[in-house]
Amino acid sequence: MGIFGKKVKDAEVVEDTTTKETSSAASDARSQNVKFKLSPEARACSVIVAPLVTEKTHMLGKGGKYVFRVDKNATKKVVKELIGEIYKVRVEAVNIVNVPKKRRTIKYDRGYQSAYKKAVVTLKKGERITALDLA
């Protein structure tokens, strides 16, 4: 069940019904208290950006560890919850690393490779994520 490359469903609009006044001022207040509730697929796509596939992460995968690029505001708790929900696996631990930006030179042009955050997810013994799930 790959989540990458799929179109994100639109967010559902949930209205806050704490105010029960019927005047026009109340309707203005209600229109300002609109909250957005994301579907699980949309929430996962906004937090988990992509799996990182390199030689090193491939070797880690044999030991039950998988590496994902995640949003800069993602927390361990949220990543653990979403990986378990998406891939139907039990997550034992999540380690998060902030990768700093790196200076790169291509011919005579200098620039920076963007900084990002990655999560190393350790699954419980016997659990695995197949390559088809990551695609």
Range(s) of the domain holding residue 89: 46-134
What is the rounded CA–CA span in Å between residue 66 and residue 51?
A: 8
Is residue 52 included in any domain, yes or no?
A: yes
Going 76 to 81 to 87 to 88, the CA torsion angle's sign is positive
pTM here is: 0.66
Looking at the structure, do residues 19 and 57 belong to the same domain, yes or no? no
Is residue 1 included in any domain, yes or no?
A: no
The tokens for 92 are: 């034992």
What is the rounded CA–CA span in Å between residue 132 and residue 85?
A: 16
Is residue 110 included in any domain, yes or no?
A: yes
**pLDDT score at 9:** 52
What is the rounded CA–CA span in Å between residue 28 and residue 19?
A: 11
**pLDDT score at 40:** 66
**pLDDT score at 34:** 46
pLDDT tens, position by position, for the chain (135 residues)?
556 655 555 554 444 444 444 455 545 544 455 445 667 677 777 888 899 999 999 999 999 999 999 999 999 999 999 999 888 999 999 999 999 999 999 888 999 999 999 999 999 999 988 876 666
What is the rounded CA–CA span in Å between residue 76 and residue 95?
A: 7
DSSP assignment of 18-48: -----SHHHHHHHHHTEEEE--HHHHHHHHE
Looking at the structure, do residues 55 and 117 belong to the same domain, yes or no? yes
Is residue 3 included in any domain, yes or no?
A: no
Q: Residue length, the chain?
A: 135
**pLDDT score at 69:** 94
What backbone phi and psi angles, to 5 degrees, belong to 126? 95, -15
Looking at the structure, do residues 64 and 105 belong to the same domain, yes or no? yes
Looking at the structure, do residues 57 and 108 belong to the same domain, yes or no? yes
The tokens for 98 are: 């902030």
Task: Please give the tally of structural domains in the chain.
Answer: 2
**pLDDT score at 43:** 76
Looking at the structure, do residues 74 and 108 belong to the same domain, yes or no? yes
Looking at the structure, do residues 50 and 32 belong to the same domain, yes or no? no
